[in-house]
Each structure stands twice: as structure tokens, then as C-alpha cells.
Amino acid sequence: MTASPTPRHIAITGASSGLGAALALEYARPGIRLSLHGRDTDRTEAVAAAARSRGAEVDVARFDVTDADAVAAWVTAIGAGAPLDLMIANAGISGNETGSGGAVSAEVTRAIFAVNVDGVVNTVLPAAELMLGRGRGAIAIVASLAGYRGQPGAPAYAASKAAVKAWGEGLRPRLAHGGLRVSVVCPGFVRTPMTARNRFPMPFLMDADRAARIIRRGLDRNRARIAFPWQLAALCWLLAALPAAWADRLLGGLPGK
């Protein structure tokens, strides 16, 4: 496995809180430029201020990742300011997917797919095009261990993460021909505002700053898949390998998000 050069310009979507914010602070130091996107301007500016206090140069943008033109314009603008070395497609949402009477909420389902799938595609494609023009660069796609197998408590969320996981795995060898490195990040439960809403046990729950260190270490080593913690990753792999009827029985009683 070839080690990756140290990125000097890192762009992160969904950097206003949680894992995105932790990644911004993990990379922040003198000589580093951070281009941060967040839906909440005040919170993103707070992350930017903390990163600047560590010596990084930071710019902040607010836009909807489901707007392909807006994302492409952002990528073009930040790339013109300084060569883009690493794009972390991190923006994502979850929600209560159950409608009245136990039915599936069409509104929440479509919103999750729009942000978690379309938003990632909208982010990665212009970044890849920009990097291919230089013949180098790295892309990190934040999926989830939930994407290893369909989850009855959150079918849209799991499916959206499965989609970007598989897409990233397919892009890695394809874009490698152009000098790009693609890594798929599959975290387990990370302490963030998103998981704070969960009302069920979250095994191996870890702090966001620790998760950010694991991700950075994996990206530095150019790992194809950064799945952690290993105990939960192994369990999710096993669930995916079990006969469907067995897995359904094990997962059927779990509460939804």
C-alpha cells in the first residue's frame, strides 16, 4: 500500500458539526488550507475560527449539496484559489423514516437519498474532474457500517450509505488510472448531534475526534476502506453474510432512528 502525500488543501462538506467539524480540526495546522461547507453558517464559522486558531487558512461556504450547480461552482472556486488535494464528501442526514401508522415516510426517504446519495455524487464528480486535470488528488466518501446490510429501523439511511459505499469502491480502481486515490469511510457509532437523537444502545460509541484521527490515518495510508471500530465492522460483515431470514430475525426488533 502506497502512502499518500500530505494534503495541503482539504475541502470538507458537512463541516458545521460532528465528524466533519472534527476532521477540520484534525487537519488544521499552519500551512494547511481548509475549505469548509456547512448548512449552519454560525456553527461552520465557529469551526473555522477554531481551525484558524490552530494556524490553518480557512474559507467557509453555505449551499445545498443537492444543488449540483452550486456544488460544482464551489469546487471550481476553491480549486482556483489553491490546488485541491483532498475532498471529503461528508455531508449527510438521517431522520425518522416511519410515517403515520407505521408506513414509510416518502418525504424523509427522498430527503435522505437526495442528500446522502445525490449530494455525494454532486460533490465527488466535479472534484474528480478537477483532480484528473492535475493527475493527482484524493477523495474520501463517508459512508457507514449501516451500509453493509439493510436496516429495518432505517432502510433509507442504510441504503443511501450502501449506495455511496459501492460507488466509491467502484470509483477507486477506475480513477486510479488518472492518479487519484479514493477511500470509502465506514464509521460505526460516533458521538455527534445526529447520533444524540438515537434512543437505543450504540455499541462501541466513540468521540468524533478519535474517529477523525482514525480516518486521517487511513487516508494517509491510502486505504481503500476505512471501517471502524473493527469489532462492529466484523459484526456488520457477518450480518451481511448471514442468510436473509436469520439477519431479518436478528435485526427486526431494533428501533428506528
Instruction: For residue 138, give the 3-state DSSP assignment.
Output: strand
Cβ of 253: how many Cβ atoms within 10 Å? 8
Q: Report the alpha-carbon distance of residue 217 to residue 3 in Å, rounded.
A: 10
Assign 246 to helix, strand or coil. Answer: helix
Write out the DSSP string of 153-218: TSHHHHHHHHHHHHHHHHHHHHHHTTTEEEEEEEE--EESHHHHT--S--TT-EEHHHHHHHHHHH
Which residues share a beta bridge with 180?
137
Give the 3-state secondary structure of residue 111: helix
Q: How far is CA 106 from the centre of its chain?
A: 23
Cα→Cα distances 249→77, 90, 243, Å: 50, 32, 10
Residue 110 backbone class (left: φ over 0; alpha: ψ -120 to 50; beta: rest): alpha
Amino acid identity of 57? Answer: E
Catalytic status, residue 148: no
Whole-number Å distance between alpha carbons of 94 and 195: 9
Indicate which residue of 27, 157, 189, 228 is catalytic: 157
* Distance between CA atoms of residues 12 and 21, nearest Å: 9
Which residues are known catalytic residues? 157
